[in-house]
Amino acid sequence: MWEDSLKAVGNEPAVIHEDEYRARQSRLLSQLRPNDLLIITAPHESTRSNDVHYPYRTSSDMLYMCGWEDPESVFCAYNEDGQWVTALFVQPSDVLKEIWEGRRPGVEGAMENWPIDLAYPHGDLSVKLSKMLENCSRVFVKMGVDSDVDELIEKEMKTMSRAKQKLGTGPVSIVDPSSKINELRLRKSEAEIELMRHSAKVASQAHIQAMANTKPGVGEWQLEGIIEGFFKYCKTSGIAYPCIIGSGDNATVLHYNVNNDTCDEGEILLIDAGCEYKGYASDITRSWPVNGKFSEAQAEIYQIVLDSQLAAIDECRVGRPYDAPHEAARRVLAEGLISLGLTNQSLEEALDSEKGDLKKWYMHNTGHWLGIDVHDVGVYLPDGETRVFEEGMVITVEPGLYFGAWRPDVDCPQRYANIGIRIEDDVLITKDGPDVLSSDCPKTIANIEEIVGTA
């Protein structure tokens, strides 16, 4: 039933090659000293109830450093005779557990197929990690992810403080490696970009399917079912974040996600949905009329948001500050409010972050980094300086206008009551300008009207 969309998504790209993982590890380890120890942790499994667990998703740093996805894993790197050695603690093979819970690569599989030098059963962690800690001076670890590792490190720090004074060895400080890893994750490789492009292609087609199946009377939850079903149909791991499927006044609630309302004649529907493909997120929003034809009032707002989004995308260029898209979008949105007579303020007044009218109807930022996490890592103001775009960075561009008539804090203009519009694309910075990874997803008024309700 989804064959055309599946064809439009195209073939799956290559997975990240072992050499790339090794290069990532080297880039990080080259910033450490020989007597440092690096530990990358993953969260514990979480129980839903009784014997049922929430679907497991490992830490993004674990995915980035070695691609291991299963629970009970710890990645370490230590220096031995001038060489960095990487080790991964994993769930060992266990026939009984595997009969119930599924097959495991085990220690042997990890050694054979993952980019590491050594693999150990997770049960050896305490003994082996204690030994590694004895021999190191700084421990690079993000605390608060794996409580067992935290406890072990704290215990070693305490018990070894005496020995340290006598022998001069043992851990002296805990350092969070996140700032170093995040800088690496911020710039995407060719292989990562292809995975992200695929993720965005799947999400684009999911939006097209949702558009085609929209008509008055359809349930937000039914469109959610189509989107999530399509994500799975394309062999992604599913949603990258809970789908936002808001019709009517729900479209004016930024992170609405109960998705239990009926889409009614005359309403705008806003869908913000993205998938995770091989660990990489897409994040797309489109807004369309439930009945397939924008009313005049809806089209007025839609066109302003679209113009602001195009102006913002045009700022996604090497060397431009990361907030240039936000400033461009704000300007076009404020001009739009003025042209519709929705404010008596001047442009500069409307843009004022304290007293401007723009923030009544546009209350969020225009974008965020995108990658392994939907709100991906990367400092926006490194050392207090505004980050400038570099090749390989991926940012979302997602301006909107939200006229919630239910809001007690503002007087909503009647003509635009409960119109909520956001248009969000995923944009790669390249030396040739912005490359919209989600460009398969229609966004002009004409293109959207052509599709809505055609299923």
Q: So which residues are the catalytic ones?
A: 51, 255, 272, 283, 364, 368, 375, 398, 402, 422, 424
Is 283 a residue that touches ligand GLY (CB under 6 A)? yes
One-letter amino acid of 137: S
Instruction: Tell me the site size for ligand GLY, rule CB under 6 A.
Output: 7
Number of H helices, E strands in the chain: 15, 18
Q: Which two tokens stand for residue 135?
A: 């021999």
| 3-class state of residue 49 by DSSP | strand
* H or E element in which residue 95 lies: helix 95-101
Report in angstroms how near the CB of residue 305 gets to Mn ion at its nearest. 14
Nearer to ligand GLY among residue 76 and residue 203 (C-beta):
203
The CA distance from 387 to 319, in Å, is 9
The site partner of 221 among Mn ion, ligand GLY, none (C-beta below 5 to 8 Å per kind) is none
Q: Read off the DSSP letter of residue 12.
A: P
Among 192, 224, 283, 376, binds Mn ion (CB under 5 A): 283
Burial 242-260 (b: 16+ CB within 10 A, else e): ebbbbbbbbbbbbebbebe
The CA distance from 181 to 2, in Å, is 39
Is 267 a residue that touches ligand GLY (CB under 6 A)? no
Is 426 a residue that touches ligand GLY (CB under 6 A)? no
Q: Among residues 257, 259, 262, 309, which one has the least CA distance to residue 290?
A: 262
Report in angstroms how near the CB of residue 424 gets to ligand GLY at its nearest. 6
Q: Read off the DSSP letter of residue 297.
A: H
The site partner of 24 among ligand GLY, Mn ion, none (C-beta below 5 to 8 Å per kind) is none
- What track of x and - describes contact with Mn ion for positions 396 through 435 (by CB under 5 A)? x---------------------------x-----------
Q: β-strand 173-175 against 138-141: which pairing, if any? A: parallel
The site partner of 241 among ligand GLY, Mn ion, none (C-beta below 5 to 8 Å per kind) is ligand GLY
The site partner of 5 among ligand GLY, Mn ion, none (C-beta below 5 to 8 Å per kind) is none
Report in angstroms how near the CB of residue 375 gets to Mn ion at its nearest. 7
The CA distance from 427 to 272, in Å, is 16
- Range list of H helices, 168-323: 178-186, 190-212, 220-233, 296-313
Nearer to ligand GLY among residue 398 and residue 440 (C-beta):
398
The CA-CA-CA angle for residues 416, 419, 423, to 5°, reads: 130
Nearer to ligand GLY among residue 136 and residue 284 (C-beta):
284
Among 398, 425, 426, 440, binds ligand GLY (CB under 6 A): 398
Instruction: Tell me the site size for Mn ion, rule CB under 5 A.
Output: 5
Footprint on this chain of Mn ion (rule: CB under 5 A): 272, 283, 285, 396, 424
Footprint on this chain of ligand GLY (rule: CB under 6 A): 241, 272, 283, 368, 374, 398, 424
